Amino acid sequence: MNADETRPEPFESVEMTRQLPGLSDADLPFHGHQRIKEHLMRETSRGIDTVRVRSRRPMALFLAAGVATCAVALALAIGVSDSGEPPAVAKPEPAAVQLLDRVALAAHAAPAPTVRDGQFLYTKTVGHSTSLSETQDGQMEADRTDESAERWVSVDGSAGTVTRNAKGTTTDPARGKDKATINGPTYRFLESLPTDPDRLLEVIYADAKLNHGPGSGSTTGPDQQAFVAIGDLLRTVEAPPGVSAALYRAAARIPGVVLVPEATDAVGRTGVAIARVHKGERTEWIFDKESMRLLGERTVLLKDSAWGKAGTPVTSVAIVARGVVDEAG
């Protein structure tokens, strides 16, 4: 069975999020499920722009049978642009938007870590990645690499980042606040980011387009890179609660974001996931269904390839410990 054949229909996804423990629709700033349905019905009556989608399944944006005709029309618009860019993808799935808002509310309510310059943010992760190597008979073979690690990130960047893994211990160069970036952040840098989701997304896309936009030669593209960058930030460095919440709400604005009702992290914990599909792989952020806490991230194959069978997690990393310490190592 193809891995994405088990994905529920859009209405089932929304119903699943409504049944998650904790917050109800009434707690959501945009009034949840019913408001989403009303918005989509209004947009449908006005007429919507034609988009090109990669999925062969019905469009995940539509929650009522009355808009099925629009879903068919959109699905027919499959193709590749004259510029060679990959097909455009669907807007964020309403069920994913709803779940991300619940996650954002939980993140914003979490206590902020007490930190001072000179300290380190500690994170311990367990997981693996996959690489390809050529065998003696010329075949490609997938090899799994242990990616378990401990990481100490300098709060203000003055002492760099220390990483300890199976290969040993390494220290990245010290970087102050002025030299920190989206891809190499410090806690002080994260504090400086806007907490308005739209403004924050502009910052993330500016960085994504720089190295993955038109003319860059990258096959990732800005949308996927923005999703990956947010996931990396949330997994590797604990951000201030307001920034964490804004990152989740910014992710809810990225095209192609969907909900996966069931996912398992690298240490066997099950949860619900927010995901995005790119080139036959689905990148998932896995959350605890009770606390909405981020458990980890994985990338799953959606079709058989040299990397493995459909459904295989080619990368999977679980967050098992976090804290603030005075010394690295």
Would you list the domain boundaries of the chain? Answer: 3-325
Question: Stretch 99-111: mean pLDDT, rounded?
Answer: 97
* 320 CB-side CA count, 13 A: 16
Our measurement of the distance from residue 301's CA atom to the centroid of its chain's CA atoms, rounded to an integer in Å, reads 16
Maximum Cα interatomic distance, the chain, rounded to a whole number of Å: 61
Q: Where would I find the beta strands (DSSP E) of the chain?
A: 120-134, 140-146, 149-154, 161-165, 168-172, 257-264, 270-278, 281-287, 294-301, 313-325
pLDDT at 216: 80
Chain mean pLDDT for the chain:
79
Q: Which pTM was predicted?
A: 0.74
Where residue 68 falls among pLDDT bands split at 50, 70, 90? very low
Reduce the DSSP state of residue 297 to 3 states and report it: strand
- Secondary structure of 151-193 in HEC code, one letter for each residue: EEEECCCCCCEEEEECCEEEEECCCCHHHCECCECCHHHHHCC
Backbone angles phi, psi at 212, to 5 degrees: -135, 15
Gyration radius from the chain CA atoms: 20
Q: Out of 88-102, 154-168, 209-223, which region has the weakest mean confidence (pLDDT)?
A: 209-223
Q: Could you tell me if 64 and 231 are in contact, meaning their C-beta atoms sit under 8 angstroms apart?
A: no
Reduce the DSSP state of residue 117 to 3 states and report it: coil
pLDDT reading at 81 higher than 80: no
Q: To the nearest 5 percent, what fractions of the chain are helix, strand and coil?
A: 35, 25, 40
Backbone angles phi, psi at 224, to 5 degrees: -65, -40
161 vs 134, which has greater pLDDT?
161
Q: Could you tell me if 10 and 61 are in contact, meaning their C-beta atoms sit under 8 angstroms apart?
A: yes
pLDDT at 135: 79
